[in-house]
Chain A
């Protein structure tokens, strides 16, 4: 089955700098890759997703890149702000599994003022 690894487990960046979180997946059949942000005690919230027919997607300060050959995808946050502090999760799924999400272990992002 699918396995998703996520790095780093904790990331501390200065406010205004960029943050990059990386994930690798094992199942080449996976074709949907969402990123969720989870603040303490709250629900995971989808911040961006990408499908395997696209190599990059951007939404304001957030972008995701996908390398299908290497089976890895990354989240990029530019011009980080204090409200970006949270735990970020990557996930992977495929159509044949009815989009059952397999999640990474999460990255705690700390924005230093």
Chain B
């Protein structure tokens, strides 16, 4: 198993609500990437944070936002939840500049009702 952890494991919200998901990166890693994985599909890149700055963004609306903290842990925030936001949210940490291998956390299963 990797040293990447995520919380919570599962979450149920209703449409219009807001949610915050958390990720702790592996020791020595300064980059966190977030992915959305719908059932039966491959992960879709949301955004990446490197040394507390957004370092690239996929095709997701602005209601998906994030933060990275000085200890390189990260948060994903989703506002105005929609039914289609129901998915597994994965974070992956990597050591930018050292290697590009991404190690994944166990994910947060978000269900929007």
Q: A97 interface residue, CB < 8 Å from B? A: yes
Query: Could you tell me the distance between the alpha carbons of A99 and B35 in the complex, rounded to whole angstroms?
Result: 13
Chain A residues, CB < 8 A from B61: none
Chain A residues, CB < 8 A from B56: 97-98, 100
Task: Tell me the count of chain A residues lying within 8 A, CB to CB, of chain B.
Answer: 24
Query: Could you tell me the distance between the alpha carbons of A98 and B32 in the complex, rounded to whole angstroms?
Result: 11
Most buried by A among B35, B100, B104: B100
| CB-based contact B45/A100 at 8 Å | yes
Query: Could you tell me the distance between the alpha carbons of A95 and B56 in the complex, rounded to whole angstroms?
Result: 12
Chain B residues, CB < 8 A from A104: 42
Q: B66 interface residue, CB < 8 Å from A? A: no
| CB-based contact B102/A46 at 8 Å | yes
| CB-based contact B45/A43 at 8 Å | no
Q: A13 interface residue, CB < 8 Å from B? A: no
Chain A residues, CB < 8 A from B102: 34, 46, 99, 101
- Min CB distance B5 to A, Å, is 11
| CB-based contact A89/B42 at 8 Å | yes
Query: Could you tell me the distance between the alpha carbons of A32 and B100 in the complex, rounded to whole angstroms?
Result: 8
Chain B residues, CB < 8 A from A99: 94, 96, 100, 102
| CB-based contact B90/A44 at 8 Å | yes
- For window 62-113 of A, CB contacts with B under 8 Å fall at 89, 91, 93, 95, 97-106
- Min CB distance B99 to A, Å, is 9
- Min CB distance A100 to B, Å, is 5
Query: Could you tell me the distance between the alpha carbons of A80 and B33 in the complex, rounded to whole angstroms?
Result: 32
Query: Could you tell me the distance between the alpha carbons of A99 and B50 in the complex, rounded to whole angstroms?
Result: 12
| CB-based contact B106/A43 at 8 Å | yes
| CB-based contact A98/B45 at 8 Å | no
| CB-based contact A43/B105 at 8 Å | yes
Q: B111 interface residue, CB < 8 Å from A? A: no
Chain B residues, CB < 8 A from A98: 31, 48, 50, 55-56, 96
Please give 4 more A-B residue pairs, beta carbons under 8 A apart, in addition to A46-B101, A98-B96: A46-B102, A98-B55, A101-B43, A103-B42
